[in-house]
């Protein structure tokens, strides 16, 4: 049972991640009065990329070649270690909030190195921007999880997601504040509006796309897939840490079915929110982004203060 559970956890995130991207793209297209591609289009894109030949820069070192595996692997590890559809876990050993945050940081680190490795003007600047944002996002990220950890008395994400303290009157406002802070970080870490524009390759705006500009074939597929995984990871952190509803609390079949349906529902809701945000607002100027990240941090500091009122 433990092994079955672990395998489900490992497979679930990468298998639905392209769907999440597809849903966002579909909703955005509909909002722009286009029909848009099928929600399953990202799967076909990945398949196509996996079967293409590759061009690798002559300046690239082994860092460039290894980075896609590291970046992708890290999202699999993080995805398997957070509550997705259940609030029980077989291990509890990887699900500490700091382990998740710093494991994701490994991915960011290698992504940035890969961007610099080929020596193009785009890659380097993409890395610089990415590291600037992620350095500033770390405060909001850890503190938003910490707020909930303090409320529930544990930093273990599975144990947190088994809790229903959030709906107590005392904790409601801190939870909402912490979630708002977290949501800003979600947008930053998954390279969404207003931080980054995932749809363009315009050198003035791009961050994530600039770093993976030199990739092609399998490695590009891994990079794209990893960023989709990261999207799902942040969706699920947002849903199951801050408002844990519908998670399976036991191993019964009924609870698991409810848990999985809730998982897909949450995925859809978050994807819709992202799509709407991307349709109604513009990207921010780069030097306004730190303000937003600091706001996230301050929201969380206020939330921690409110817990003890």
Cβ closer to other proteins: 75 or 240? 75
Among 84, 113, 177, 184, binds other proteins (CB under 8 A): 113
The distance of closest approach from Cβ of residue 262 to other proteins in the complex, given in angstroms and rounded to an integer, is 26
Confirm if 140 and 300 have CB atoms less than 8 A apart.
yes
The distance of closest approach from Cβ of residue 179 to other proteins in the complex, given in angstroms and rounded to an integer, is 18
Q: Of the listed pieces 23-31, 124-132, 178-186, 277-285, which binds other proteins according to CB under 8 A?
A: 124-132
Interactions with other proteins, residue window 149-168 (CB under 8 A): 149-150, 153-156
Q: What are phi and psi of 86, to 5 degrees?
A: -140, 155
Cβ closer to other proteins: 26 or 129? 129
- Would you count residue 134 as binding other proteins (CB under 8 A)? yes
Confirm if 69 and 106 have CB atoms less than 8 A apart.
no
For 26-59, letters b (16+ CB in 10 Å) and e give: bbbeeeeeeebeebeebbebbeebeeeeeeeeee
Interactions with other proteins, residue window 175-234 (CB under 8 A): 213-214, 217-218, 222
- Would you count residue 237 as binding other proteins (CB under 8 A)? no
The distance of closest approach from Cβ of residue 213 to other proteins in the complex, given in angstroms and rounded to an integer, is 7
The distance of closest approach from Cβ of residue 263 to other proteins in the complex, given in angstroms and rounded to an integer, is 21
**Residues contacting 48, CB < 8 A, separation 6+:** none
Q: Of the listed pieces 75-83, 168-176, 230-238, 268-276, which binds other proteins according to CB under 8 A?
A: 75-83
Cis omega (within 30 of 0) on the bond before 287?
no
Interactions with other proteins, residue window 4-63 (CB under 8 A): 10, 50-59, 61-63
Among 278, 297, 303, 306, binds other proteins (CB under 8 A): 297
DSSP state of 61: -
> How many Cα atoms are found within 13 Å in the side-chain-facing hemisphere of 31?
16
- Would you count residue 303 as binding other proteins (CB under 8 A)? no
Instruction: Classify the C-alpha dihedral 213-214-217-218 as positive or negative.
Output: negative
Cβ closer to other proteins: 132 or 279? 132
Residue 161 has a CB neighbour count (10 Å cut-off) of 28
Cβ closer to other proteins: 10 or 29? 10
Total number of residues that touch other proteins (CB under 8 A): 80
> How many Cα atoms are found within 13 Å in the side-chain-facing hemisphere of 259?
24
Among 29, 37, 105, 258, binds other proteins (CB under 8 A): 105
Confirm if 267 and 85 have CB atoms less than 8 A apart.
no
């Amino acid at each position: 049972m433990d092994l079955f559970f672990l395998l489900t956890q490992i497979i679930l995130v990468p298998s639905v991640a392209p769907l999440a991207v597809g849903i966002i793209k579909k909703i955005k297209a509909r909002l722009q009065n286009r029909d848009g591609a099928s929600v399953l289009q990202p799967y076909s894109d990945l398949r196509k990329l996996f079967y293409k030949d590759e061009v690798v820069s002559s300046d690239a070192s082994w860092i460039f070649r290894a980075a896609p595996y590291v970046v992708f692997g890290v999202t699999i590890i993080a995805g398997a270690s957070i509550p997705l559809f259940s609030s029980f876990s077989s291990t509890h050993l990887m699900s500490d909030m700091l382990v998740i945050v710093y494991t994701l940081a490994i991915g960011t680190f290698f992504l940035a190195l890969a961007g610099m490795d080929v020596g193009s003007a785009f890659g380097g600047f993409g890395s610089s921007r990415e590291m600037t944002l992620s350095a500033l996002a770390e405060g909001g990220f850890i503190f938003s999880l910490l707020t909930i950890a303090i409320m529930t008395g544990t930093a273990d994400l599975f144990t947190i997601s088994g809790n229903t303290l959030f709906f107590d009157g005392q904790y409601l406002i801190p939870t909402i504040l912490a979630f708002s802070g977290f949501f800003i970080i979600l947008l930053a870490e998954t390279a969404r509006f207003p931080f980054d524009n995932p749809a363009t390759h315009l050198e003035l705006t791009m961050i994530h796309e600039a770093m993976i500009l030199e990739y092609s074939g399998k490695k590009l597929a891994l990079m794209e897939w990893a960023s989709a995984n990261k999207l799902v990871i942040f969706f699920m952190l947002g849903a199951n840490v801050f408002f844990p509803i519908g998670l399976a609390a036991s191993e019964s079949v009924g609870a698991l079915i409810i848990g999985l349906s809730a998982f897909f529902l949450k995925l859809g809701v978050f994807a819709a929110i992202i799509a709407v945000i991307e349709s109604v607002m513009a990207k921010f100027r780069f030097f306004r982004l730190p303000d937003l990240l600091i706001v996230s941090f301050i929201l969380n500091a206020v939330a921690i203060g409110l817990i003890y009122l």
